[in-house]
A and B are shown apart, each in its own frame.
Chain A
Amino acid sequence: MAFDFQGIATQFVTHYYTTFDTDRKALAGLYRENSMLTFESTQALGTANIAEKLTNLPFQKVKHHFDTADAQPTATGGIVILVTGQLLVDEEANPLKFSQAFQLVQDPQGQWFVFNDIFKLVFG
């Protein structure tokens, strides 16, 4: 592996959830025009749509706690990351469990961005 996919994934996961919990509008910078977000089966393509989707999620406060994060390099030089964890929204006392899969790829300038982002609430 020509790159430290594990280190990139670790940094990414921490950054992503910290940003999500504090100012999720700012996540827009992690996406590009060809990025796709699937949030609970609704899809959003491109930075603007994704930012809108994230910003308009039906909660004010959110706190993620991730239990596991795993990363693999892909044959095309990307990184797939699978995160599982729990999130607390607003004043809800019961955490919701989620799994979220990302594919990170590099743009021509070598910047990593989120190409795929698939979020799903899960049970158990």
Chain B
Amino acid sequence: MAPPTGPRGGSNNRKPTARASRGGVAKHRAATRTDRDGDVSMGAPISGSNPPTGPSGRGTRGRGAARGAPARGSRTSSRLAQNLKNYIGEGGSKHAKTTLKILGVKNSKAASNSDGGVKGLLQFIERKADKDKKIVLGRGVLDGDYVWVKANKDDVSSIMHLNGYQYAGAPITIEETTEPFPTGTKFSKDAADTRQKLLALLAKRYNAEQKLLDLSALGTDDILGNLGAVGSQSLAEKSFRAIIHVAGEQFKTAEEKRQGIQSVSLARNEISDVDQVFTLAYSLPHLRRLDLSNNRLATFSSIAKWKQEFRYLEELYLVGNPVTGVADYAVQITQWFPCLQILDGNIVRSPQEAAEALKAMTPQPLAQLPSNLRDGENNVASIFLRSFFQLYDHDRPALAAQFYDAESVASLSATPEPGRDVEWKPYMKYSRNIQKLGGSRNPAVVQRLFTGASLIAEMWKSLPATRHATLDQPELWIIDCHTFPHLADPSGHGFAMGLMINVHGQFEEADTTEELYGTRTFSRSFILGPSKPGAPHPYRVLSDQLTIHKWTPRAAGAASVPVTTGAPAAPIAPVAPVVAAVPVIDDATRVQLIQELARRTGMNAQYSELCLSGTANWNFDLALQSFEEQRANLPPAAFTAPA
């Protein structure tokens, strides 16, 4: 971030100058320069993801400068960098960290220092540990007799050499530990100071009435200047992040923050790419007004990182940036921010348009529409489906004879549940799921495509017996029906119209040989076309694709009632059309839900029932969800069979 590039330290000069009005108080004489830390400031290319942070930045420092007692200002500002870095939760470097516990400061003369001697001790270690390498320690915390500090793992062996050294008149003992770092409010003095100063800065720059956080011209800010947080690119970016972080902390909830800060000004900060202040978008995604005027944004790409951000931005100011002269500037920027109404003071969208854009952005859940038969006045589809499932459940050979002929094609796919092969075996030998069989070279692909009524009937014979719900329970079905042109007319002349029917529902299954019973969900897609002369019906099934899934109870309360109560009687005998009025959740359904939940979660029946009967109120999905949430808290007894 280019922004806070004001003169540093004692030479701070806030006098407004003619330059200031040109957009930036802090013009440097030269494009680059090296500050006392060795950090290159201004105009240095920013490596977005990994800017030169404290340690590596300091690594570039000349050996000479690093030796002996470093200049005070230097240490202060690099420490500040470290503090800020700790503050904003950046581990700081790619090196692995470890925790050190250091004993001895209590007995040293430094113990009477305002910080208990922590800072001096750490500086001592940083200075002494390795004569060839710059060691940088983390933020120290005094906890009891120990000073706790994070260090790079690589540096530990050098640091350990200092075991037994005298610091301020007392020997020190250093050990590496895996104990948790003391947390809480024990910020080091530096960090606490920094925090206080940032709070002071925010107090000065926050306007509660306007809900405005004015972070303009940070480079000229006294407080930041005194902190040494300006002048270098990386420091400036870090201090910006720290400011935003501390600002965010002042609000208890995200909503309070959203209400509390609606406008931000980043004017006159010499920003040349929004990447330098990107964090604003994460911290304040609902910002309504943003002032970026008088910066150095020159191209669309210098703003592009924000084009997916600030979805609710209503006002944006970019005047005083070169980008405003780029062709199509207003069009492009308006497009990027869907709710933007005012750009540089000009109206670019009406409130209505913005409201519509906002509405369009809020994803509506996909509505699941009820069945739609569209099969015209003669109800071809509904009549066909009634016959079909009645016959499929009770007399499959008759079904094949009535609606299928030599040209009919049928196939089946299944998605078995892992570890439940036996249950799925009857289907798997016919399943021609492309997903599982792979390419077309697999001979099963052809073998498992059944052409002709007799082959189809043969295949059906070996599938488990079924009971489908009646079509009088529309809540158990999803049916979609379409006219299907482009069918060859069986008379051989031209094309005929057909019907495509997509059915989704569930059935009870009874495999009497394996003694397996269960509920399955299925999708079945038919293409009906005119039949040949002499056929029993005016139309036939040209194509029948059946997909069978494991059963998942429906989430929607009453609709989750299974078709029949309990497992169907076996062997299958013709039965009267089933189930006129099933209570919303009857006992058998409860048992079924309990069993299903037990199977899915591994919990025993007792806990499954508790889970279902609790707040889930027999809603299977809610019960499953609450299981997932509570899983970690469940006692082992939940998963063992009751004694």
Tell me the minimal C-beta distance from B631 to chain A in angstroms: 15
Contact between chains at B502 and A101 (CB < 8 Å): yes
Contact between chains at A80 and B504 (CB < 8 Å): no
Contact between chains at A115 and B486 (CB < 8 Å): yes
Residues of A within 8 Å of B487, CB to CB, are 74-76
Residues of B within 8 Å of A84, CB to CB, are 413, 415, 523, 547, 549
What 3 pairs across the A-B complex have the smallest Cβ distances? A124-B521, A6-B440, A122-B504
Chain A, range 87-124, C-beta contacts under 8 Å to B:
89-90, 92, 94, 96, 99, 101, 103, 105, 115-116, 118, 120-124
Q: Mark B409-431, 1 if CB is under 8 A from A, else 0.
A: 10111110000000000000000
Residues of A within 8 Å of B440, CB to CB, are 4-7, 10
Q: Measured between alpha carbons, how far is A82 from B433 in the docked complex, in Å? A: 10
Tell me the minimal C-beta distance from A51 to chain B in angstroms: 17
Residues of A within 8 Å of B542, CB to CB, are 74-75
- A/B interface sample: 12 pairs, CB < 8 A: A10-B434, A10-B440, A66-B435, A67-B433, A70-B434, A74-B527, A80-B543, A82-B525, A84-B523, A99-B502, A121-B368, A122-B523
Tell me the minimal C-beta distance from A67 to chain B in angstroms: 5
Tell me the minimal C-beta distance from B556 to chain A in angstroms: 8
Q: Tell whether A23 is near chain B: CB-to-CB under 8 Å.
A: no
Q: Mark B446-471, 1 if CB is under 8 A from A, else 0.
A: 00010000000000000000000000
Q: Measured between alpha carbons, how far is A122 from B281 in the docked complex, in Å? A: 38
Q: Mark A46-78, 1 if CB is under 8 A from B, else 0.
A: 000000000001111000001111111111101
Residues of A within 8 Å of B545, CB to CB, are 70, 72, 80, 82, 101
Q: Tell whether B478 is near chain A: CB-to-CB under 8 Å.
A: yes
Interface centre among A7, A40, A71, A122 (most CB of B within 10 A): A122
Residues of A within 8 Å of B445, CB to CB, are 6
6 extra interface residue pairs, beta carbon distance < 8 Å, beyond A68-B414, A70-B433? A6-B434, A10-B439, A58-B364, A59-B363, A68-B434, A74-B487
Contact between chains at B413 and A69 (CB < 8 Å): yes
Q: Mark B376-415, 1 if CB is under 8 A from A, else 0.
A: 0000000000000000000000000000000101011111
Q: Tell whether B18 is near chain A: CB-to-CB under 8 Å.
A: no
Tell me the minimal C-beta distance from A72 to chain B in angstroms: 5
Q: Measured between alpha carbons, how far is A54 from B570 in the docked complex, in Å? A: 47
Contact between chains at A40 and B368 (CB < 8 Å): yes
Q: Mark B343-379, 1 if CB is under 8 A from A, else 0.
A: 0000000000000000010011111110010000000
Q: Tell whether B482 is near chain A: CB-to-CB under 8 Å.
A: yes
Q: Measured between alpha carbons, how far is A38 from B479 in the docked complex, in Å? A: 13
Tell me the minimal C-beta distance from A78 to chain B in angstroms: 7
Contact between chains at B363 and A68 (CB < 8 Å): no
Q: Measured between alpha carbons, how far is A7 from B621 in the docked complex, in Å? A: 37
The chain B residue sitting closest to A115, CB to CB, is B486
Q: Tell whether B480 is near chain A: CB-to-CB under 8 Å.
A: yes
Q: Tell whether B157 is near chain A: CB-to-CB under 8 Å.
A: no
Q: Measured between alpha carbons, how far is A72 from B412 in the docked complex, in Å? A: 11
The chain A residue sitting closest to B367, CB to CB, is A40
Chain B residues engaging chain A, CB cutoff 8 angstroms: 360, 363-369, 372, 407, 409, 411-415, 432-435, 439-440, 445, 449, 478, 480, 482, 484, 486-488, 495, 500, 502, 504, 506, 521, 523, 525, 527, 542-543, 545, 547, 549, 551-556, 559, 621
Q: Mark A1-27, 1 if CB is under 8 A from B, else 0.
A: 000111101100100000000000000
Contact between chains at B363 and A89 (CB < 8 Å): yes
Tell me the minimal C-beta distance from B363 to chain A in angstroms: 5
Contact between chains at B506 and A41 (CB < 8 Å): no
The chain A residue sitting closest to B437, CB to CB, is A6
Residues of A within 8 Å of B527, CB to CB, are 74, 80
The chain A residue sitting closest to B476, CB to CB, is A123
User: Which residue from A4, A70, A75, A103 sits with its C-beta under 8 Å from B484?
Assistant: A103
Contact between chains at A70 and B432 (CB < 8 Å): yes
Contact between chains at A67 and B415 (CB < 8 Å): yes
Contact between chains at B484 and A101 (CB < 8 Å): no
Contact between chains at A41 and B366 (CB < 8 Å): no
Given contacts A72-B411, A76-B488, contact A59 B449 (CB under 8 A): no
User: Which residue from B360, B369, B433, B525 sits with its C-beta under 8 Å from A41?
Assistant: B369
Residues of A within 8 Å of B449, CB to CB, are 72
The chain A residue sitting closest to B483, CB to CB, is A36
The chain B residue sitting closest to A39, CB to CB, is B366
The chain A residue sitting closest to B523, CB to CB, is A99
Residues of B within 8 Å of A75, CB to CB, are 407, 487-488, 542
Tell me the minimal C-beta distance from B240 to chain A in angstroms: 28
Q: Measured between alpha carbons, how far is A68 from B405 in the docked complex, in Å? A: 26
Q: Measured between alpha carbons, how far is A121 from B545 in the docked complex, in Å? A: 17
Interface centre among A6, A67, A68 (most CB of B within 10 A): A68
Q: Measured between alpha carbons, how far is A115 from B498 in the docked complex, in Å? A: 14
Q: Measured between alpha carbons, how far is A116 from B555 in the docked complex, in Å? A: 30
Tell me the minimal C-beta distance from A100 to chain B in angstroms: 9
Residues of B within 8 Å of A120, CB to CB, are 478, 480, 502, 504
